[in-house]
Structure 1
Amino acid sequence: MDCFGTGSLVTRMTNDITQVQNLVSQFVRGMICTGMLMLGSIFFLFRLNTRFGLIALCAFPLIVGCMGICLAKANPLFTRLQAQLDAINAILQEDISGIRVIKACIREGYEKLRFGKANGALVCTQLQVLTILAFMNPIINVLIYVVVALILRVGTFEVAAEAATPGVIMAAITYTTQLLNGIMGLTMLSQNISRGFASWKRVKEIFHTKPQLQDGSFDGQTEQHGKIEFRNISFSYPGSDRMVLKNINLTIRPGETVAIMGVTGCGKSAFVNLIPRFYDAAEGTVLVDGVDVREYTLQALRNKVSIALQKAELFHQSIAQNIAWGREGADSESIRAAAQAAQAEEFITGTADGYATTVAACGSHEELLQSCKVYRDIYDFQMGKEELHA
């Protein structure tokens, strides 16, 4: 998540995976079909008349060269196109999840303009790709029609010399037309293959990314329960050289309640996140029940820790399932006890279906539709006439 971001991961799991699926299916099916059509056409041209076959064969280097030049220019744009989709998905994710804040601060216009600029950049890149590919098809058509013209020219001399019949010339043109269909199919296939390979590189980055947190081997069985110790802890977030925490020492004994206070950005959350090992310390050691957290298996360590996050996360399930989400196999009595402890039972029993009422983090369907209105009439913007200020 830290390496790629939410928007990029969404694009890679949806759009990029779809492009890779198209690459595999079209490559297997398309290469066989177009390959047999092209090779068969050239073979029968040579069987029909060696000169006709040589004319068609001489055009191949020019056709392949044209395709190579166009695809070489388009390939970097495919990668940029997917990166711009990342940016759009990131903006959508941020705006839909924070729609209430946007409305409260009356920032719909700002976010609409921000989305418009990201969308405009995507459209510009797509137009560049289409422009490059738009030149490729006509050039290849011209080369094929030149081959047809040369076959007709040579064929007239052959017929005049009684070395061929008009039927042979028509057959040669038919084979050349089939060759044209094969080449056009290969042209379309090469575009999809190029885009598929660009997406495959992005998907492969995720597959080859190694987790920063490596599992330990300790199963979590200790004599102590509830002791936490920080020894000379220093910490910086991944990719940053600025130390958020420096040389922190603290021991929290079982049963103690400790409050960590400080200004925004001083590292309070980072400090607590070191206990369940959401991050590893840059220097020093964090011990839970006398054991270095890096020696625990992640499952064993996090089974020892209960966390109440600053922001509540709701899943599109029933209230009971949301309450029991962190404890597998929780029964109805323990769910009700948790609701009573949180002083939420009165609210829950007042809903339509009680504990079976379905909730969702995004609110109702109508609220979600309303949030999407931020992007309504996006193409009505006149890009460049307004400046985007942070």
Structure 2
Amino acid sequence: MREYKWMSLLSPVLVAIEVMLETYIPFLMGNIIDYGITPGNLAYIQKWGLVLVGLAVVSLVAGSGASWFSSHAAAGFAQNLRHDEFAQVQKFSFANIEHFSTASVVTRLTTDITNVQQAYQISIRIAFRAPLMFIFSMVMSFRVSPQMAGIFAIVVPILAVILYFIIHTAYPLFSRVFRRYDILNRVVNENLRGIRVIKTFDRQEEEINKFKDASNGIFTIFSKAQRLMAMNAPVMTFMINTTMLLVSWVGAQMIVGKTLETGQLVSLFSYTMSILFSLMMLSNIITMLSVSQASANRIAAILREQPSIVNPDNPITTVKDGSVDFADVSMSYLHASHPSLNDVSLHIAPGTFVGIIGGTGSGKSTLVSLIPRLYDVSSGTVSVGGTDVRRYDLRTLRDAVAMVLQNNNLFSGTIAENLRWGDANATDAEVQKAAAMAQADGFVQEMPKKYDTYIEQGGSNVSGGQKQRLTIARALLKKPKILILDDSTSAVDTETEGKIMTALRTELPNMTKIMISQRITSIAQADQIIVLNNGQINGIGTHEELLKSNAIYKELNESQQKDEQDTIKDTEGDDSDASDAGK
């Protein structure tokens, strides 16, 4: 904002010059009529006519300059505000993000900032011009004729009360409109993300109706607000006509009585229009500011939101090794009725392969999200390399921990550009090596442009399994001390998954590998397997140890083996049917 400060200050100065000249011009015109045209004094007309033209030109230049400076300052202000808001969102922890829906953040970064930009431009130009025009016109009308100016003392308060009622009633409606925009944006966002699911379930008609409901909600409230605001024009027209009629009637009486000149009446007509139009301008300004106030409050809510996870004073900038320790850790999400983790204590040695398994809602993802400090614990301590994660510089900690989620994103750009999110300075050889370990190099090499193949938004032009392998390769390029795979091979076949884990264990023996999986076969070779149940550790051990000592693990293993056997039988049955049909 600082770089646009002088423009923001210069615009009102130019507006003041413009308004002073505009309000002086009718006074000059009145004098030209009374002292030039009426007596036929051509010299007077020529002299003051040139002055009038000169003032009009200066007023035009000042007004144009004010418009340019105000629009430029407003655009710059909006740009900075948008940048600050987006930067603030980037600082948010997962807990902060839960306070705002995605659709709401998008609306605040687009529609709301546009409204505030318009309001800012209005504030430094029109909002300054309208009251100045009102004041200067009132002063000049009293100078021309104090008796005639008394009419304004009656009309202005009446008009002000009417406009206040309209604006005061409409303002709450505009706040509701923006809340409805959030709903509409959410519907659109969900549909764009889930278009395949919608078509699979043939839900197009239902989603169209949902969109119509959201759109109709905006239409209903906005129409009500606009109907109220539409009263401005007829009310102003009525008041202008009434006031002009009063000025004409009283002015005619005064001209007949020799207490007012014709030129003065012409000046008063001009001041009447200026006063009433300045009031109408003020009402429109207040309306716009009311709308933008709702937007400004929504933007301020994001800017005021304090990131719940920040760097500590004197942060540690080196991670010693990939060991992980949980000491009496409990974790509860915002508004949750019960903790996701409860009194968890655990040690993971550096360089080990650890598997985590458990039912839905057992706390698996919550447990690993505490390691890179995506959330903070409610109580207890999480340590990496023997140091509490809250003492680390966040960038240092997250450079040491790579996390691959089940539904990880790829971004618009080439495959190489996506992989270099892990390391922007990685060589082509390093990119290919990481992809090879993740079993991605094979299918990438089959693509026409190989690593220069363009990835569409969200990775829509690669399969789920390919996307997961690419995101694993991206994580490996970070060369982290700890690699977390949160069910991130669910779309990969077991043979390919086995090759990935073999490559990780043989080529990166010093890297701590933590893998969440629903498949026991994926983690059976782990050095240590953790069984979670209802946010607590139910068992720890190797595959063989847990089969003997842990009922939950044993039940999961038997269930999955039965499913595999049933699948094999079904496959053999299909093959037999096909063979009989061939005969």
TM-score normalised per structure 2: 0.60
Relative contact order, CA 8 A, sep 6+: which one is greater?
Answer: 1
Q: Distance in 2 between matches of 1:184 and 1:363?
A: 53
**What residue identity is the alignment partner of 1:195?**
V
What are the residue-to-residue correspondences of 1:108-123 with 2, within 5 Å?
108-123=204-219
Q: Distance in 1 between matches of 2:214 and 2:173?
A: 15
Is structure 2 residue 172 aligned with structure 1 residue 70? no
Task: From the two aligned structures, give the one with the greater helix fraction.
Answer: 2
1:218 aligns with 315
Q: Distance in 1 between matches of 2:402 and 2:268?
A: 78
Residue number among 326, 330, 342 corresponding to 2:422 in the alignment: 326
Cα contact 2:319–2:400 (8 A) shared by 1: no
**What residue identity is the alignment partner of 1:114?**
K
Is structure 2 residue 429 aligned with structure 1 residue 312? no
Is structure 2 residue 451 aligned with structure 1 residue 352? no
**What residue identity is the alignment partner of 2:427?**
D
**What residue identity is the alignment partner of 2:190?**
E
Cα contact 1:313–1:361 (8 A) shared by 2: no
Residue number among 89, 102, 112 corresponding to 1:16 in the alignment: 112
1:127-174 per-position Cα deviation (integer Å, ceiling 9, x unaligned)? 121011112332233223222222223223213323224443343223
CA separation of 1:222/1:35 partners in 2, compared to 1, >3 Å: closer, same or farther? closer
1:191-214 per-position Cα deviation (integer Å, ceiling 9, x unaligned)? 212112221111111111100112
Cα contact 2:137–2:275 (8 A) shared by 1: yes
Q: CA deviation at 1:325?
A: 0.9
Q: CA deviation at 1:268?
A: 1.4
Indicate the SS of the match to 1:239.
coil
CA separation of 1:75/1:316 partners in 2, compared to 1, >3 Å: closer, same or farther? same
**What residue identity is the alignment partner of 1:289?**
G
Greater mean alpha carbon deviation, residues 200-209 or residues 134-143: 134-143
1:265 aligns with 361
2:303 aligns with 207
What are the residue-to-residue correspondences of 1:41-120 with 2, within 5 Å?
41-120=137-216
Q: Distance in 2 between matches of 1:107 and 1:166?
A: 74
Is structure 2 residue 254 aligned with structure 1 residue 136? no
**What residue identity is the alignment partner of 1:14?**
T
Indicate the SS of the match to 1:306.
strand
Q: CA deviation at 1:220?
A: 4.1
Q: Distance in 2 between matches of 1:218 and 1:37?
A: 57
**What residue identity is the alignment partner of 1:312?**
N
Residue number among 296, 301, 314 corresponding to 2:397 in the alignment: 301
CA separation of 1:222/1:29 partners in 2, compared to 1, >3 Å: closer, same or farther? closer
Greater mean alpha carbon deviation, residues 124-133 or residues 144-153: 144-153
Residue number among 182, 186, 190 corresponding to 2:282 in the alignment: 186
Cα contact 1:323–1:335 (8 A) shared by 2: yes
Q: Distance in 1 between matches of 2:460 and 2:349?
A: 45
1:273-308 per-position Cα deviation (integer Å, ceiling 9, x unaligned)? 111111111121111121111111211111211111
Cα contact 2:420–2:431 (8 A) shared by 1: yes
Q: CA deviation at 1:364?
A: 7.4
1:38 aligns with 134
1:295-338 per-position Cα deviation (integer Å, ceiling 9, x unaligned)? 11211111211111111311111110101112131111111111
1:375 aligns with none
Is structure 2 residue 328 aligned with structure 1 residue 245? no
Q: Distance in 1 between matches of 2:387 and 2:317?
A: 9
Q: CA deviation at 1:29?
A: 1.2
Q: CA deviation at 1:25?
A: 0.8
**What residue identity is the alignment partner of 1:354?**
K
1:5-43 per-position Cα deviation (integer Å, ceiling 9, x unaligned)? 211111111111111111111111112332333233222
Q: CA deviation at 1:363?
A: 6.2
Q: Distance in 1 between matches of 2:122 and 2:395?
A: 42
Q: CA deviation at 1:230?
A: 1.3
Q: CA deviation at 1:255?
A: 2.7
Is structure 2 residue 384 aligned with structure 1 residue 274? no
Cα contact 1:8–1:89 (8 A) shared by 2: yes
Q: Distance in 1 between matches of 2:210 and 2:359?
A: 30
CA separation of 1:352/1:51 partners in 2, compared to 1, >3 Å: closer, same or farther? farther
Q: Distance in 2 between matches of 1:35 and 1:264?
A: 64
Q: Is there any run of 5+ residues in structure 2 with no aligned partner, and where?
A: 1-96, 462-583
**What residue identity is the alignment partner of 2:238?**
V
Cα contact 1:59–1:144 (8 A) shared by 2: no
Q: CA deviation at 1:222?
A: 4.8
CA separation of 1:117/1:209 partners in 2, compared to 1, >3 Å: closer, same or farther? same
Cα contact 2:411–2:458 (8 A) shared by 1: no
Greater mean alpha carbon deviation, residues 11-20 or residues 59-68: 59-68
Q: CA deviation at 1:359?
A: 0.9
Cα contact 2:411–2:457 (8 A) shared by 1: yes
Indicate the SS of the match to 1:343.
coil
Q: Is there any run of 5+ residues in structure 1 with no aligned partner, and where?
A: 366-390
**What residue identity is the alignment partner of 1:126?**
F
TM-score normalised per structure 1: 0.87
2:387 aligns with 291
4+ runs deviating over 4 angstroms: 362-365
Q: Distance in 2 between matches of 1:41 and 1:296?
A: 65
Counting matched residue pairs gives: 364
Q: Distance in 2 between matches of 1:158 and 1:67?
A: 32
